């Protein structure tokens, strides 16, 4: 999909309660709009992802304040990419912003370059990113962080590198998993393999991460993009990545070039998953697996 011709990347609509105290503003399957989480406990609320730019961040903050009714606010993001975290500005001084260390460091290293790259995706995207300033977290953690919201607990776990170096999942009351872009519903996984500029995506380890998430057996899974699902989504994404890995390794061992292997995998994956959107990500996944075959 070409973002320059798509709907504007604007977070819209009312939060939907997917479990007690756990709300999601759905992405509506709009390009470059994430699913946004708002988790409300008796004493505090946690926002998961902001949308892209100050306008989206302000809308998300407005919805969080409406649901939280004076409770303390926390903000975290699943990873540093612009549509997930570049709406943090309105939260400065209003919420406690919490990132894992790898996530914070990746934002420092790559944040400005990604801002420039996304601004080049078209005028609607550039408009949302106008005036963006990268926001540092108030708290940085290693290992894991547990936030007691009052009768509801959110556990933040760094799991990267996979989609990004600083990938983070949020597990609420051992029931609801926010997976960020480790998971998409009926969308080919986003594999940001952009040599020589950014090759940190690690699809082989991504498969291992998904195995770990499946072991958590969440009842409800909130993907980065696409509809809220159950744990079957984790297996669907894993099956796809495993298929691409197997084919990339087989073709590389047979002496097929990276270009030809990516083209062959693209054709076969489109046939196997005909209902999935954004097939432009198939070739980048194939190239990332091919490049990492020596492992």
280 within a domain of the structure (yes/no): no
For the cut 60, the answer to whether the pLDDT of residue 2 exceeds it is no
Q: What pTM was estimated for this model as a whole?
A: 0.96
217 within a domain of the structure (yes/no): yes
User: Which residues face 96 on adjacent strands?
Assistant: 74
287 within a domain of the structure (yes/no): no
Is the pLDDT higher at 72 or at 294? 72
pLDDT, averaged across the chain? 96
State the Cα–Cα distance between residues 189 and 79, nearest whole angstrom: 15
11 within a domain of the structure (yes/no): yes
**What pLDDT is stored for residue 1 in this prediction?**
43
CATH of the domain at 180: 3.60.15.10
pLDDT in tens, 255-287: 999 999 999 999 999 999 999 999 999 999 999
The SS3 call for residue 54 is helix
Mean pLDDT value of segment 171-176: 98
288 within a domain of the structure (yes/no): no
**What pLDDT is stored for residue 104 in this prediction?**
98
pLDDT in tens, 21-36: 999 999 999 999 999 9
For the cut 90, the answer to whether the pLDDT of residue 5 exceeds it is no
CA atoms within 13 A of residue 14's CA, in its CB half-sphere: 4
Helix (H) or strand (E) holding 126: helix 123-128
**What pLDDT is stored for residue 293 in this prediction?**
73
241 within a domain of the structure (yes/no): no
262 within a domain of the structure (yes/no): no
278 within a domain of the structure (yes/no): no
pLDDT in tens, 91-146: 999 999 999 999 999 999 999 999 999 999 999 999 999 999 999 999 999 999 99
Domain span at residue 216? 3-231
Mean pLDDT value of segment 57-64: 98
For the cut 50, the answer to whether the pLDDT of residue 178 exceeds it is yes
The total of structural domains in the chain comes to 1
The SS3 call for residue 44 is strand
């Amino acid at each position: 999909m070409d973002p320059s011709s798509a709907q504007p990347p604007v977070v819209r609509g009312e939060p939907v309660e997917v479990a007690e105290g756990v709300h999601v503003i759905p992405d509506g399957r709009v390009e470059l709009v994430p699913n946004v989480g708002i988790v409300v406990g008796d004493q505090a609320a946690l926002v998961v992802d902001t949308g892209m730019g100050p306008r989206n961040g302000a809308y998300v903050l407005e919805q969080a304040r409406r649901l939280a009714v004076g409770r303390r606010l926390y903000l975290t993001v699943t990873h540093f990419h612009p549509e997930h975290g570049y709406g943090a500005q309105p939260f400065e001084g209003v919420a406690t912003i919490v990132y894992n260390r790898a996530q914070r460091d990746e934002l420092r290293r790559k944040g400005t370059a990604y801002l420039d790259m996304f601004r080049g995706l078209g005028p609607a995207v550039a408009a949302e990113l106008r005036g963006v300033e990268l926001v540092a977290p108030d708290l940085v953690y290693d290992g894991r962080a547990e936030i007691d919201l009052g009768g509801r607990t959110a556990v933040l776990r760094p799991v990267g590198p996979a989609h990004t170096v600083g990938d983070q999942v949020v597990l609420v009351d051992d029931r609801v998993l926010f997976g960020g872009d480790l998971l998409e519903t009926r969308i080919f996984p986003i594999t940001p393999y952009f040599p020589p500029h950014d090759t940190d995506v690690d699809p082989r380890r991504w498969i291992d991460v998904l195995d770990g998430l499946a072991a958590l057996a969440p009842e409800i899974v909130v993907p980065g993009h696409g509809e809220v699902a159950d744990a079957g989504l984790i297996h669907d994404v894993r099956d796809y990545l495993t298929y691409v890995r197997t084919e990339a390794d087989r073709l590389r061992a047979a002496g097929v070039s990276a270009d030809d292997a990516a083209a062959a995998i693209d054709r076969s994956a489109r046939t196997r998953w005909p209902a999935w959107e954004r097939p432009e990500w198939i070739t980048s996944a194939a190239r990332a697996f091919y490049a990492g075959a020596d492992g």
